[in-house]
Amino acid sequence: MTQLDLTGRTALVTGSTQGIGAAIAAGLARAGARVAVNGRTAASVDAAVARLADEHGDGPGSFLAAPGDVSTDEGVEAVRAAVPDADVLVNNLGIFESRPALEITDDEWRRYFEVNVLAAVRLIRAYLPGMTGRGWGRVLNIASDSAVVIPAEMIHYGMSKTALLAVSRGFAKEAAGTGVTVNAVIAGPTHTGGGEDFVYSLVEKDLPWDEAQREFMRRHRPQSLLQRLIEPEEIANMVVYLASPLASATTGGALRVDGGYVDAILP
């Protein structure tokens, strides 16, 4: 058995019907985990499970459906009904949108905190006791470079991801000495469907994608050392490592997969 083997483990990945979440689900399944795919509607989740099973069906892991809007108490209960216990919890769900700072309403501030922060807190409360009781578990919160380098065009998003770093560190202390690790993953600008929409919201819409991507990085993310968008699978690789026994001494951390975007030695 390799140390990356997650056979026999159950993982829940929120917001995993597409993008980074789907890549994480696929990576964990390849490592042998039984992966619960989550999204707001049963239809979207069922379609994602079918697609993932078709694309990765030869791997050792498997996929199951866990629909529910985890930004609500009712949604968390629906997910828990499908997945009563989890060994690996990946809080990937997140929303983002550019907005002039002075035009962000109170309701938008609340919505970003509810979806990007409190959803993770609810799920940690739900699954951490089981992990600590069994003496093994992994909680991974997908943060962002925006947690450290607050973007002028979406400070509400940056605020929520900064809060997620604090949540991660705090719950790592709660799990101290139990065999459960809690970490945040700081993802950099990533190539997803939503990411493409965001890029085109800030550059000329008629540019071919390769040119649009370069223009976006040049104008809005010039400090990136990678000088391109990160692929979702590159984020997933870090998550799978942190979910594995190899990362047993890594907890309370904020680990960067940001292409060198954050210009600092530490987060």
Active-site annotation holds for 157: yes
Catalytic annotation, pick one of 112, 157, 200, 261: 157
Round to whole Å and give the CA distance between 122 and 10.
18
Q: How far is CA 179 from CA 28, 131, 183, in A?
A: 20, 8, 13
CA–CA distance, 63 with 48 (Å, rounded to integer): 9
- What would the two tokens of residue 65 be? 């459906």
CB-based contacts of 185, cutoff 8 Å, min separation 6: 140, 141, 142, 143, 235, 238, 239, 242, 254, 255, 256, 257
Cβ–Cβ < 8 Å for 28, 59: no
Instruction: Provide the residue type at 108 as one letter.
Output: E
Q: Which residues contact 28 (CB under 8 A, 6 or more apart)?
A: 6, 11, 13, 35, 61, 88, 90, 236, 239, 240, 243
Contact 86, 36 (CB under 8 A): yes
- Which residues are catalytic, by number? 157
